[in-house]
Structure 1
């Protein structure tokens, strides 16, 4: 039975987070600076804050951020 629930390996915040967070705020006006605050080692907490604010699950938040990266 596979009990590996750690999907963090498949997602990494890129170096240009300031630019990405600006784009996210433009696209989702409900996001606050606090929601998008990235602290080293606390990426998971930030993704949870964004998900809670947008009413999305973690996978959906990761997809949104990946989409921003591609634009």
Structure 2
């Protein structure tokens, strides 16, 4: 089992290195759980999830009156 072998190796290290490894593992866990939650959010949204929430006015391509002097 990988975890038992890893624990044996960790027990052989000095305490300050064990502390450093614990901090590194915490960082990895945080990174992994954040990445996992981001993937979950993206799969829920998906393509077309904003359908009907965005619109453009009919005169979108018409010239703006503010720029009338420049045309």
Scaled by the length of structure 2, the TM-score of the pair is 0.25
Larger radius of gyration: 2
**TM-score between the two structures when normalised by the length of structure 1:** 0.25
Higher relative contact order (CA 8 A, sep 6+): 1
